[in-house]
Structure 1
């Protein structure tokens, strides 16, 4: 790496000596004793450090991060009565022999030749000798360039922020692994949506992916992209969404689901005809009343054919009359103008402008209607993949990836349990990588919120403070977050996240601060 040879060892380690390596170092943990005075007062967990074994030339320097700072004193020990508990004034007069030990988790080897930095190896195999010196990182830009060299030169690295303490150390993320799916988890107020926004902006600007964002509340992403937002009320509902809409408006129990699901299929077939009649009608209000009557008759006839009693059929007719106004049917069913195919076309059109397509789900009356829209759009993506890759004769087929990333905001509402939407999301998680069909799921929780089959296929994870303490254990089941516990998470502030997984060039969890996003309005 001729470019890195411009830098000598002292460029990166500087002269700020922090401490030295103790006995029993390994490739996973290196114990360090910190010098008294300014070094032991100023060090913080998650700071980046460099270990240099100056007695053994040409050995690699170790880039690592500090964890588990321990303040120790040989006399004032826990679980031992020291004799001054009855004399509070004595604490100021006794001589204290305080010292500080800390554990450093090695992240990578910085390769050295003839005093020059020549590369980086993220597989740490060298164990430093006791007495090796520990320095603060002097020039973080060198680390950024070394990490960038681990990413294929033909792609632009994604950068969402810098290291928590070393602001000049940007952590370049490998976009090749977007298709292996991304998870963003953290309690409310920790900045999940800001992180996702920065991530989305980087993806649409630096890669060939188009992005569709499903905004659950309409508050997290819609304000940032008003010119590329489509209300879900403009997107056609599928049969399940229609069924749930009528169940809610008619105030029906789960007992009627069988009738309504088949009714939704029938109404879905009739929607285009109804729209055409409304467009051509001289008296729109009168035509709308006729359509209302036909839908009522269809519901009654279908329920009758499925064995409903006469009083149930009459009840459905009365509910349609009193609870379902014709204008509501027009607005919620007939007024939707975009097909799912047109939504895909819009996403690719927005990609040309380096913007995501945002679907505002906040106006839908039920969660099931929101789920139907997400499920229908995912199903449309799979149809596109099938048509482009399998309809031709075998000898004429060519590989055509879809190059789409779907962002599922508040994913606990869509990626858990059973049902059409969850199954569609799970299929993307399981099979999407082959077609460059990626997922970003953002949620406050994991346990009983994100299905295990979806979690198992998330290969890059950003996580901050969690709303449930048990969620850290859930993350450990599908991601390598060795060395991270609840005490580490408790030190994170808003916009600070650990990143672990395939997009992280270090492969080991490291704390980053997401770059600031300007507020809108």
Structure 2
């Protein structure tokens, strides 16, 4: 360790002013770990150096002195010096770092910690995703904080995905948690875990979602056209099953309460009976098992028949026909094919392999939100059935697309995890560029934050509203390099936010 200065007057148990020796000021960098040696009390304090400023007693901007009118005197008579604050973490003891009860005495010597060999700290076991930037000391994150939720925030290029990758690897290696990762772009996690990737485009979509996607893409009025589209979709499915798998129609109407018992009916159920008694849970299973083929030409024919049966106006028929050809086209209906996975399959994959990465990159945003929500709802179904902790971490990349107040079904699903997940070992990790876009109710339940350069000043202010940043300023964040993050909150083994350099991942 290197001696850099002395504690000045006015210290407290949270902050202590430090006067830095001029000849060693180049060793005093903000966010360095320091040891304050209070020899009078035989105590050593651990802290972080912050808010370094350069001062000169005779050149106070609020006072006029002779130096102003005689600039030549500056060369011989001034006493410039650096000063800062030690943000106190605690008192170093045999059992680690304990909360300070007394402030350090003025005159106590201040040393910077330059390497892990300078200081032996007992911080417990945990998830090591990196080391303190300057000292190289490992900062293990407490895994007990996983179900209390984690937020990872940083502007583009700060290394969020590398941090999350390191975190995932540590969770898999050191805990019994399973992990479900939703990869928004398909380029952040799918490339790391190629053997554990499933395509989101294989997930079966429900009829109401397909209806919403058609309405959104075409811009058609919901009140007018939703009934036509939804009935046409169900008619298409009914006719396909009646032709290819007629025996399954009995299963689909076997119980209006959702059971699967078969009812002996001597004739094929009519579409109206199918519509009135359909078991939608079983329908999703059949769509996955039998892989119904969607075709725009066949669907348009069914749509015309539905419009005629429902006595739609000719203008509605024309508008729907144009919308299907111009705004949807062949590709939309092809995207509904080859979907053979249910949410329970994704959860089951995670249970069997500890990790599953769902590549959402080829889906519409509404479909992505549906997939996220349906998988989370499946986790809750298991919890409600077994009434025991599920020990699962849900990782959501580009989380502002899923946890915003206007994000619909995914927002509701994530909100439930944030409120209730800790009791059942169900945690969520949200990685985002903009904290301000995350619903306040969700971010208010996140108890560990890892943050780097932020996108806007508003993000910094929002973070301050949920976390004591202990002297960290926007200027400090602005000069952070790639893979440099502050860690704060429940998983941090130290009392105050600490700067870590995330390890290189492969």
Superposed CA deviations along residues 199-240 of structure 1, whole A, max 9, x for unmatched, are 111112211111111111112112111221111111111344
Asked if 1:235 corresponds to 2:206, the answer is no
- Residue 132 of structure 2 corresponds to 163
Aligned length: 462
TM-score normalised by structure 1 residue count: 0.80
Counterparts of 1:93-242 in structure 2, within 5 Å, are 93-111=75-93, 118-137=94-113, 140=116, 145-148=121-124, 156-167=125-136, 169-242=137-210
Q: Which of 380, 383, 391 is equivalent to 2:381?
A: 383
Unaligned runs of 5+ in 1: 1-13, 112-117, 149-155, 390-399
Q: Residues of 1 paired with 2:482 and 2:397: CA distance?
A: 18
Q: Which of 435, 440, 448 is equivalent to 2:429?
A: 440
Q: Residues of 2 paired with 1:259 and 1:320: CA distance?
A: 16
Counterparts of 1:315-354 in structure 2, within 5 Å, are 315-317=319-321, 319-320=323-324, 328-329=332-333, 331-351=334-354
Unaligned runs of 5+ in 2: 247-285
Q: Which of 482, 490, 493 is equivalent to 1:494?
A: 482
Whether the 8 Å CA contact 1:299–1:316 is kept in 2: the answer is no
Change (3 A) 1:409 1:285: closer
Whether the 8 Å CA contact 2:197–2:357 is kept in 1: the answer is yes
- Residue 358 of structure 2 corresponds to 359
- Residue 55 of structure 2 corresponds to 72
Asked if 1:36 corresponds to 2:22, the answer is yes
Change (3 A) 1:199 1:256: farther
Whether the 8 Å CA contact 1:65–1:106 is kept in 2: the answer is yes
Q: Residues of 1 paired with 2:121 and 2:386: CA distance?
A: 39
Superposed CA deviations along residues 174-217 of structure 1, whole A, max 9, x for unmatched, are 00110000001111111111111111111122111111111111
Whether the 8 Å CA contact 1:246–1:260 is kept in 2: the answer is no
Deviation (angstroms), 1:438: 0.6
Whether the 8 Å CA contact 1:215–1:408 is kept in 2: the answer is yes
Change (3 A) 1:201 1:109: same
Counterparts of 1:504-515 in structure 2, within 5 Å, are 504-515=492-503
TM-score normalised by structure 2 residue count: 0.83
Deviation (angstroms), 1:270: 5.4
Q: Residues of 1 paired with 2:220 and 2:82: CA distance?
A: 67
Q: Which of 31, 54, 61 is equivalent to 2:39?
A: 54
Q: Residues of 2 paired with 1:285 and 1:266: CA distance?
A: 12
Q: Residues of 2 paired with 1:299 and 1:234: CA distance?
A: 28
Deviation (angstroms), 1:78: 2.2
Whether the 8 Å CA contact 1:238–1:376 is kept in 2: the answer is no
Asked if 1:300 corresponds to 2:299, the answer is no
Deviation (angstroms), 1:31: 0.7
- Residue 27 of structure 1 corresponds to 13
- Residue 409 of structure 1 corresponds to 397
Whether the 8 Å CA contact 2:44–2:92 is kept in 1: the answer is yes
Whether the 8 Å CA contact 1:187–1:464 is kept in 2: the answer is yes
- Residue 63 of structure 1 corresponds to 46
Whether the 8 Å CA contact 1:300–1:317 is kept in 2: the answer is no
